[in-house]
Amino acid sequence: MVVSAALGVPTAAGAAPPAGPAIGCAWRFMSNDTVLNVAFPDSNATYWVLPYALGGDDRIELSGDYPAARYFSLNTYGTDLNTVDTLRDDMIVPDAGSGNPFADPSLTGLPALARRWHATVVPGEANHALNQIRALPSGAGSQTVPMGFLIIRVYVPDDAASLPGGVPLPAVALVLDNGATTIPISTCPAAFDPADATSGPLGQAMEQAFDRLIAGAASGAFPGNVPEATFVNPASTSGLFPNGDNKYIGAGLTYQPGRIVVVRGRAPSFPDTRAGVPVTEPGQQVRYWSMCQNDQVSPYPVVACAADFQTGVDAGGYYTYVVAAPEDVPATATSDPTVTVLPWGSTAVPRKVLFMRHMLPSPAFYPYSVQASQAANADPAATMGEYYPRASYCARADFEAGGYRACLDKG
């Protein structure tokens, strides 16, 4: 039996767990665009991290409520920060007497007591039908240290002020030696500042480890010969806490005064949950999509994102993004509701990367999705059709004079 010191619990079975965030508590590490902003997070998502170490006879029991949100999932990662397993919202079987609003549209708006679920993190093979998720990688070359990370993702909570989606974070208990001992792990209190998670020896060591691993992974995400302002498939997202339900294409950017980037493509349809549309609404092409500007320098933070519901479209369903420093934003861009402005971020950062995310494409939309281009190892410009984001550098004055056509339709 091995118990994670990161959770602040003892290694001796049966000993009482110490309490309080100074020692450790569940969901001590939170990451988003303002706290622990690393590894290109989406600014419309929040990530809660639970480090663990498990022996072969141990498990982690989780109990929670389905959030009121666009998406949530449980994801496990090994020490190389690559995905081990994913248990998504609509896969999680509800408790007896409860319902899953991500799987049944008639259950949207259920009270919390009718939205309960339980799941188990196990060290060996996981049965998703039993709400199990695998804790540790398997197969040739697997890590020898039984450590990993559990991450909860919540995208676009219905109430923007409630990052977990209007529900508490799941309760956590360590079950040791095939059930001989159960150790409840208290959830970090609301008054606990998540930024404090990176203070002290443990937090500093964790942050430094993250930075080293993420820097190594992100530095190889794009080949060196990728042309600028052109969206391509990354060489790899391994080591960046990838979400198995998302795929990404990216375009490298560099700053010049007076120069902007213009991006245009057709917008996939999506369930606008902030407007009351359930995620189970028929006919939607993706669960979620977004465009995000990021610093391509360690620890690889996000600058800003525009999610699907934050993106203006024209009468034909096409979006236009302008990525620019404040002094370079064309006045015509800010006055046009069909144009969405993304901030450049610090102009001192030598290189940026603009990411488009597609989450959970429908079967009908799949051939035009980022997922399809990556599965076929194909150029997304050739497979995505009108959904491919065409990008170009452009002079601010040219956009002022002729809009996106002056920048993209140069013949």
- Indicate if 327 and 207 belong to the same structural domain: no
**Shared-domain flag, residues 155 and 303:** no
Token pair of 221 as six digits: 């995400």
* Structural domain for 157, as ranges: 5-214
- Whether 344 and 228 map to the same domain: the answer is yes
**pLDDT score for 336:** 95
Q: Does residue 387 share a domain with residue 345? A: yes
**361 shares its domain with 322:** yes
Kind and range of the H or E run holding 321? strand 318-324
Residues 339 and 209 occupy one common structural domain: no
Per-residue pLDDT of the chain (411 residues), as tens digits, is 333 434 433 333 333 333 333 336 888 777 765 566 556 778 899 988 888 888 878 899 999 999 999 999 999 988 777 788 999 999 999 999 899 999 987 776 666 568 899 999 998 899 999 999 998 887 656 666 778 889 999 999 999 999 999 999 999 999 988 878 888 988 887 544 545 555 555 556 556 666 666 665 555 555 455 568 999 987 655 556 778 899 989 898 999 999 999 999 999 999 999 999 999 999 999 999 999 998 887 777 789 999 999 999 999 999 999 999 999 999 999 999 999 999 999 999 988 889 999 999 999 999 999 999 988 889 999 999 999 999 999 999 999 999 999 999 764
Number of alpha carbons in the 13 Å side-chain half-sphere of residue 269: 12
170, 192, 214: which is the final residue of a domain?
214
For residue 57, what pLDDT is reported? Answer: 85
Statement to judge: residues 98 and 134 lie in one domain:
yes
Boundary of a domain, candidates 159, 184, 214: 214
Helix (H, G, I), strand (E, B) or coil at 85: strand
Name the domain boundary from 183, 214, 245. Answer: 214
CATH number for the domain that contains residue 332: 2.60.120
- One domain for residues 207 and 233: no
Considering only CA atoms, which of 294, 288, 354, 343 is closest in space to residue 39? 294
Same structural domain, 156 and 173: yes
d(Cα 372, Cα 386) in Å, to the nearest integer? Answer: 14
Contact 247, 370 (CB under 8 A): yes
Q: What is the pLDDT of residue 22?
A: 35
Domain count, the chain: 2
Q: Which two tokens stand for residue 102?
A: 């991500």
Check residue 269 and give its pLDDT: 98
169 lies in the same domain as 292: no
